[in-house]
Each structure stands twice: as C-alpha cells, then as structure tokens.
C-alpha cells in the first residue's frame, strides 16, 4: 500500500518583532515521522522565514518531498503568502527553505502591537528512507498473549481478545457479540482501514503510550468510526498535556470530536490578538460555529 500524503500546519506568534536579530524558532512538530519547525531571523534589511526539516543529515539516504505555503498574517487582516516546492534530503543544500520578506514592509503593513503571525501549511508528498516508528506492542500470533479473534486489515493480521475490543468499542461490541455473522468467525476483515493507524488504535486500547502528533488524527478517525469513548478521552488528554500541534488544529479536533475540556483550555490560553489571529487565520470555516462565536467574543474582550 502506497503511503498516503501527510499534511501539517505550523503556526507561530512572533512577539517583540521589532527587536528581531538572530534566529527564533517555533515549536517542533512531528509529521511523517520527521520533526519540522518554523524558523526566522533578520538578514540585513529582510526577514528570512523558513520551514526547517529536523531530520539529521547522516550517511543514510532519505528524502521528503514537500509543497508548502508560508503566510505572514497581521492581526488587522493583512496576509502575505508565497508557495514553494522543495525536497529535503540527507544531501540537500538546505535544511531550512523559505523566503526573504522586506523588514520595513512588515513593520509598516503587517506588524501590529509588535506582533506578527507566521504560518506554514505543508503537504508531504513522498517520503523515502525514513523508518516507521517502532511498534509499542505486537499483535502477531503468540503463545504468550491470549487471543480469540483475528482482525485482518489490508495485508496485516491482528491477534486480539474480544474482551478488550468490546469493553472499549460499541462498534465491536455489536459486531462481535451481537447477531452478526462476524461474531462466530475466527477471522474478521476490516476494509478501507490503514493498518498503521489501527496498530496505534489497538495499542491505546491495550493501554500503551502510543499517541503522537503524527498519528493522533488517524486514531481519532478510528475512535469516531468505532465509537471508542475511552480511547477518545485518552486522545483528548494527550492533546491537552503533550501535543505540540497548532492551537487551530487542536480547536478543530475539539469541535469535531466534542472535546469540551480541550476547547476550554485552548480558548483560555489565547492571551493576545495575535494568538486569536493565528487560530482564525483568513478563513474560519474550518472551525466549529460555536468555537468561532467564542473566538469573536474573545477578540472583542481583548480589544477593549
């Protein structure tokens, strides 16, 4: 199976922008099992803004082909956007790729309250030479681990116990303990599911510390599909306490999966107009209507 494209959103609120000199960086984010980061610095009369690939350059051959946009956002609505295509690799010339923006223009037209919002939206088209994360738990046939059903996902087989599944998922409770034929089968095929995502989903069910920023979205899709409320709570806790995903991405998840605690935490952390602008960007249609309403109220409060 060909690896699907991976998408990521990095945002950074650059404060005290007028005093910019050496490099400053946003938070690192994991995508396609590679760490990525926004970096920017003053270069003569320009500001260099870059997407950095933090995969170490070694003798091992690897590459990551990307299409990405760098957007500079002002809290008053202005936007400066440039698109790029670049292949990061073990032997590529640059570990960071981007553009030089006029420092004077940014100060005059984009920087408000000494703040500028930097956003990078990227699609990782192909990746070679990057190993998959190590599995936290094996679901291969074993004499040590009991199992009473085999779940076939694509070409992989997962040997699990019905008890674990039905206790965590209403879908599997109905499928395996109800009147469906699958309840009497030794092997059950699950179609149109990514086996890597299902591996992590099962690991969480078996209480492994398996969630990352790279796999959380795929796991949440399975949580929704299989009605796994306990796994959903684990995902919400991860997003609140461990994740480096952008605040906008977290609020998207909060709205889509009804994570009220995450929503409250995210809204409460927005302490400036720049923070709110980074979440809303130029188009807030990606956010739940109730969250947009709260953000508008937050904007009014911060402007008073």
Q: What is the dihedral of CA 186, 191, 196, 201, to 10 degrees?
A: -70
Beta-bridge partner residues of 6: 124
What pLDDT is attached to residue 285?
72
Contact 55, 34 (CB under 8 A): yes
Locus of tokens 């674990």: 164
Cα–Cα nearest to 163, from 153, 152, 149? 149
48 and 41 Cβ atoms separated by less than 8 Å: yes
**pLDDT tens digits along 244-298:** 999 999 999 999 999 999 999 999 999 998 999 899 876 667 788 889 889 988 8
As a whole-number percent, the residues of the chain with pLDDT over 70 amount to 97
pLDDT tens digits, one per residue of 197-219: 999 999 999 999 999 999 999 99
Structural contact between residues 266 and 211, judged by C-beta atoms closer than 8 angstroms? no
């Amino acid at each position: 199976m060909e690896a699907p494209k991976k998408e990521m959103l990095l945002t950074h609120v650059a404060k005290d922008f007028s005093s910019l000199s050496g490099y400053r960086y946003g938070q690192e984010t994991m995508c396609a099992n590679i760490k990525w980061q926004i970096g920017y610095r003053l270069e003569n009369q320009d500001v260099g803004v870059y997407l950095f690939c933090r995969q170490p350059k070694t003798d091992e051959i690897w590459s990551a082909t990307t299409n990405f946009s760098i957007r500079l956002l002002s809290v008053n609505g202005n936007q400066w956007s440039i698109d790029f295509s670049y292949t990061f690799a073990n032997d590529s010339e640059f570990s960071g790729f981007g553009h030089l923006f006029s420092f004077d223009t940014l100060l005059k037209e984009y920087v408000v309250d000494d703040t500028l919002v930097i956003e990078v939206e990227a699609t990782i088209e192909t990746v070679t030479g990057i190993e998959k994360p190590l599995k936290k738990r094996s679901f291969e046939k074993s004499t040590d681990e009991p199992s009473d059903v085999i779940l076939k996902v694509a070409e992989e087989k997962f040997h699990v116990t019905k008890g674990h599944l039905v206790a965590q998922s209403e879908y599997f409770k109905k499928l395996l303990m109800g009147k469906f034929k699958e309840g009497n089968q030794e092997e059950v095929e699950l179609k149109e599911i990514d086996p890597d995502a299902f591996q992590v989903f099962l690991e969480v069910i078996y209480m492994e510390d398996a969630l990352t920023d790279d796999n959380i979205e795929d796991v949440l899709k399975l949580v929704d599909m299989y009605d796994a409320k306990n796994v959903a709570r684990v995902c919400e806790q991860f997003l609140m306490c461990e994740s480096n995903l952008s605040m906008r991405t977290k609020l998207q998840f909060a709205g889509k999966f009804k994570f009220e605690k995450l929503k409250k935490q995210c809204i409460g952390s927005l302490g400036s107009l720049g923070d709110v602008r980074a979440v809303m960007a130029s188009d807030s249609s990606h956010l739940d209507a109730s969250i947009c309403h709260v953000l508008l109220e937050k904007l009014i409060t911060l402007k008073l």
